[in-house]
Chains A and B, each alone.
With several copies, the nearest count.
Chain A
Amino acid sequence: MKLSILFPGTLAWALALPAAALAADDTAQELSAGDISYMCVATLLVLIMTPALGFFYGGLVRRKNTINTIMMSMVCLALITVQWFLFGYSLSFGPDAGGIIGNLDWAFFNGVGLEAFKDYSPTIPHVLFAMFQLAFAILTPAIVSGGIVERTRFPAYCLFVVLWGTLVYDPMAHMVWGLGGFIRDMGALDFAGGTVIHITSGFSALTAAVLIGARKGYGSLTLRPHNMPYVCLGGSFLWLGWFGFNSGAAVGATALTALALANTGIASCTAGLVWILLDRMVHGKMTTLGLMTGFVAGLVGITPAAGFVTVGSAFLIGITTPVICFFFVSYVKGRLGYDDSLDAFGCHGVGGVWGALMTGVLATKSVNDAGADGWLYGNAAQMIPQLTGIVTGIVLAVVMTAVIIKGLGLFMQVRATDAEEAQGLDLIDHGERAYNKM
């Protein structure tokens, strides 16, 4: 019996996919087991960041929105993976169209096979590179959710994630990292995604927070974290995964990987210490949330620089980034009055801009030939591509986020009603409660 009678048509593409159609053997000689090993690990480390972010954010909201907040992160796993497989990867890394975006040649992972792809990943299978990049694409919209938790309806949010991934993340990734991307071609340095990930998500969070509006009672009610251990749990795994995030950007297990890992550790831990010292100076107490926020700030700051700077520079980034973020979160935010509920902008947006600038200042070829020298090393011109990247990221994020949110608002409910917000989105959007005692 011919099975194609049973599965007519719909399956044709699955068969036809040349994607993984090459036997491993043919290419085995160029692949490195050590590099594959580490890139698998790095991919998993970045993947766990998304649930971790869910817990980090989920602990910071009120109990009635716990599950909803965690879901805002976790659903990105499902949504973006499918988007990435269908067309997202192709838009981001596929053959260039005008320096802005990839075309659809690699849709359905078409051609993304088990052999190495020299320009992106010379020693690991192309499909593994695509999965590593997928993990970044998932995490980024999840960060945006930090600006709009506790008041955004879930169905609209899901559409937002898919549209945002397609209209903001994919082009930005292409411009900065894709072959032919114009910011890449200008020579901008962004080791692990300070511009692509943190600037876009941070500014999008701000835009969305302003457009969707503050939570009811913002400013007067005591909107306290409902579960600090979850914040620590999520924060710890976010921090852990970030090592894979930054060191995996070396696309292998090399000295550069080790450098990125060391820089990540030194910058983040230093930043944690700086934040609690600021806490103590300003408020008299070293807070747990301060330590976690400091870690995150340091991680954001070091992300674009991790493989381009010395450990001494990482230490410097670890000292400066939290100071700037602390100032923003504690003073500027309160004055401007927007409700960036979990400080996605204050940490990722502000820290991302600072990190991108610092990369332009502190980068040195002495640690990474493939990089460039920064301002401090005599190459002030490096600031131009850095600024181009920053500005492009900000403009793209702000404009597109506004377009998407306004657009969605035309034909569906984006903002929860007062009654829904009062009851909590766990019940409203998921029909579940986080904790059941009775």
Chain B
Amino acid sequence: MDDRKIFKVDAVIRPEKLDELKAKLRTIGVTGMTVSEVYGCGLTMGHTEIYRGSVMAVDLMPKIKVEIVIYETPLDTLIDAIREVCNTGHVGDGKIFVSELYTAVKIRTGEKGGIAIIDNKP
């Protein structure tokens, strides 16, 4: 195992940005990602919904969480790529949370550590 770190980057973004982000990540050599549907609240005060005359303040907005584990790709490149695509300048653009992984394993091969993330040769 080499001493580069494996980072897990969780980006909570606007749903409509997903397609663009996917395309962008491919260009910077990210080899995989895991996407899930989440609901978020932050500075955005949410929106109001109206059901039969009762106006409800809904503060949980649909967001998309993209989890990207990187090893070779530099963290800053990734963060910049995400910001480039997802930054609209309006409240609600989302956050990026970065943590360090202890290790990673590729289930198919059993490879452990950074090598598990390097996927460019099948």
- Which residues of A come within 8 Å of B, CB atoms? 64, 217, 220-222, 224-225, 279, 282-283, 285, 287, 289-290, 293, 326, 329-331, 334, 343, 419, 422-423, 427, 430-433, 437-438
Does B49 make an interface contact (CB < 8 A)? Answer: yes
List residues of chain A with CB within 8 A of the CB of B48: 431
- Which residues of B come within 8 Å of A, CB atoms? 14-16, 18-19, 35, 37, 39, 47-56, 58, 60, 64, 90
Instruction: Give the shortest distance, in Å, between B26 (CB) and chain A (any CB).
Output: 13
* Interface residue from B50, B56, B64 paired with A279 (Cβ < 8 Å): B50
* Interface residue from A64, A282, A427, A432 paired with B51 (Cβ < 8 Å): A432
**Are A283 and B49 neighbours in the complex by a CB distance under 8 Å?**
no
CB nearest neighbor in A for B57 = A222
**Are B37 and A437 neighbours in the complex by a CB distance under 8 Å?**
yes
**Are A282 and B49 neighbours in the complex by a CB distance under 8 Å?**
no
Q: Can you offer 23 A-B residue contacts whose CB atoms are under 8 A?
A: A221-B19, A222-B56, A224-B56, A282-B53, A283-B53, A283-B55, A285-B50, A287-B50, A289-B51, A329-B53, A331-B53, A343-B52, A423-B16, A427-B47, A427-B49, A430-B50, A431-B47, A431-B48, A432-B51, A433-B49, A437-B37, A438-B37, A438-B64
Q: Which of A285, A334, A430, A431 has the most CB of B within 10 A?
A: A431
Majority SS of interface residues in chain A? helix
- Beyond contacts A290-B52, A438-B39: 20 other A-B pairs, Cβ-Cβ < 8 A, are A222-B19, A222-B56, A225-B51, A279-B50, A282-B53, A283-B50, A287-B50, A287-B52, A293-B52, A326-B53, A329-B52, A331-B53, A423-B16, A430-B50, A431-B47, A431-B48, A432-B50, A433-B49, A437-B39, A438-B60
| 10 smallest beta-carbon distances between A and B, as pairs | A330-B53, A422-B16, A431-B50, A283-B50, A221-B19, A431-B49, A222-B56, A438-B60, A287-B50, A329-B53
List residues of chain A with CB within 8 A of the CB of B56: 222, 224
Instruction: Give the shortest distance, in Å, between A420 (CB) and chain B (any CB).
Output: 11
List residues of chain A with CB within 8 A of the CB of B16: 422-423
Instruction: Give the shortest distance, in Å, between B88 (CB) and chain A (any CB).
Output: 8
List residues of chain B with CB within 8 A of the CB of A326: 53
Known: A220-B19, A438-B18. A334 touches B49 (CB 8 A): no
List residues of chain A with CB within 8 A of the CB of B55: 283
List residues of chain B with CB within 8 A of the CB of A224: 49, 51, 56, 58
Instruction: Give the shortest distance, in Å, between A363 (CB) and chain B (any CB).
Output: 31
**Are B54 and A289 neighbours in the complex by a CB distance under 8 Å?**
no
With A and B bound together, what is the CA distance between A334 and B56 in angstroms? 13
List residues of chain B with CB within 8 A of the CB of A329: 52-53
List residues of chain B with CB within 8 A of the CB of A217: 19
List residues of chain A with CB within 8 A of the CB of B50: 279, 283, 285, 287, 290, 430-432
With A and B bound together, what is the CA distance between A427 and B44 in angstroms? 15
List residues of chain B with CB within 8 A of the CB of A432: 49-51
List residues of chain A with CB within 8 A of the CB of B58: 222, 224
Instruction: Give the shortest distance, in Å, between A432 (CB) and chain B (any CB).
Output: 6
List residues of chain A with CB within 8 A of the CB of B52: 287, 289-290, 293, 329-330, 343
With A and B bound together, what is the CA distance between A236 and B49 in angstroms? 22
Instruction: Give the shortest distance, in Å, between A89 (CB) and chain B (any CB).
Output: 32
Instruction: Give the shortest distance, in Å, between B69 (CB) and chain A (any CB).
Output: 19
CB nearest neighbor in A for B37 = A437
List residues of chain B with CB within 8 A of the CB of A64: 15
CB nearest neighbor in A for B48 = A431
Instruction: Give the shortest distance, in Å, between B90 (CB) and chain A (any CB).
Output: 8
With A and B bound together, what is the CA distance between A87 and B82 in angstroms? 56
List residues of chain A with CB within 8 A of the CB of B53: 282-283, 326, 329-331
